[in-house]
Amino acid sequence: MAIIHSMYREPGKVAIDEKTCKQCGLCARICPADVLKMDDGRLQVSEKSLFGCIACGHCMMVCPKDAITVTGRGVSPQDLLPLPDQDERAGADALAALMKARRSIRHFHDRPVDPRLVERVVETAMTAPMGIPPWDVGCVRVIGREEVRRISDEIIKGYVGFLKVFKPWLLKVMRPFVGRAKYEMFADFVRPLAQIYVGAHQEGRDKLFHDAPVLLIFYHSPYAESLDAGIACTYAMLAAESLGLGSTIIGGAPPILQRNKALCRRLGIPDANTPSVTLILGHPKVTFRKAIRRRFSHVSSTGAQQ
């Protein structure tokens, strides 16, 4: 049995090079799918693993002798990369500084973003963790203000339709079925926001994507979760920050985009995939002078307190 993916229905294939394997068992200790096992001091590929090899590649990455190869599910030994040197990696202070200094940017310089920077952002986002390997998330790079604006125009048309259907009286009728929080969100936030988007559009302003020069659309297959796309997008946002680009996650676009199948097809989003999160990017026109302390609504602890 294998964990089904939109592109792969077979487990990965694990091979042990008996000549170089030192039987240290490091790979067996960390294999999350219990595919590699030590049996009487010898490394074995177990047939008993429920899902088989998920092709995370951890065994290849931990082996000090390059004795393990994993192929299939989009992975092969050619994907192995040298580990970045310790002094090349961001330490806790550098990472916290990058995160504290990041702000959502909705004002961009006119100058276009070099597509190589966009590529770097997307490549870095691909280092993010995913629910189950390999990634079942895709990304559309929309480059250029005009193209971003065309997509914005299409989404605003969807909001015009939304406003026609979801009149305040209909939302009130729906309230007992959707509950108070959902009702309040729709009546007091989504509907007024849709009016703002549409009103601004009538005046020639883009309040959805803020005239950004680049838009990234992250989508996921029916076999993956929207959380995967959200994590990928978050990594992209941090990568953008590290490259001096400003960005904002735009949650206002996906609910409408998901319902516009023709637009999804034009953007190359495979049928049955769901665009779940979007990120606008550009050279920031705003300089913040301060950072800010943010708090979760609640933080609690359980277990031993130091």
Q: Six-digit token pair at 25?
A: 């068992």
Count, residues near ligand FMN per rule CB under 6 A: 8
103 lines the binding site for ligand FMN (CB under 6 A): yes
Which CB sits closer to ligand FMN, 5 or 106?
Answer: 106
Chain positions 236 to 295 lying near ligand FMN, rule: CB under 6 A, are 248-252
Nearer to ligand FMN, 12 or 284 (CB): 284
The CB-of-280 to ligand FMN minimum distance in angstroms stands at 9
C-beta of 4 vs 196, nearer to ligand FMN: 196
* Nearer Cβ to ligand FMN (128/249): 249
Return the half-sphere exposure (C-beta side, CA atoms, 13 A cut-off) of residue 43. Answer: 24
Q: How far is the CB of 257 from ligand FMN (least distance, A)?
A: 12
Nearer residue to ligand FMN within complex by CB, 11 or 230: 230
**Shortest CB 284 distance to ligand FMN, Å:** 11
Q: Among 20, 23, 104, 202, which residue interacts with ligand FMN (rule: CB under 6 A)? A: 104
CB atoms within 10 A of CB 284: 19
CB of 121 to ligand FMN, least distance (A): 17
Instruction: Decide: 202 and 216 in contact? Cβ < 8 Å.
Output: no
Of 75 and 250, the one with the shorter C-beta distance to ligand FMN is 250
Closest residue to bound ligand FMN by CB? 251
Q: Which residues of the chain form contacts with ligand FMN (CB under 6 A)?
A: 103-104, 106, 248-252
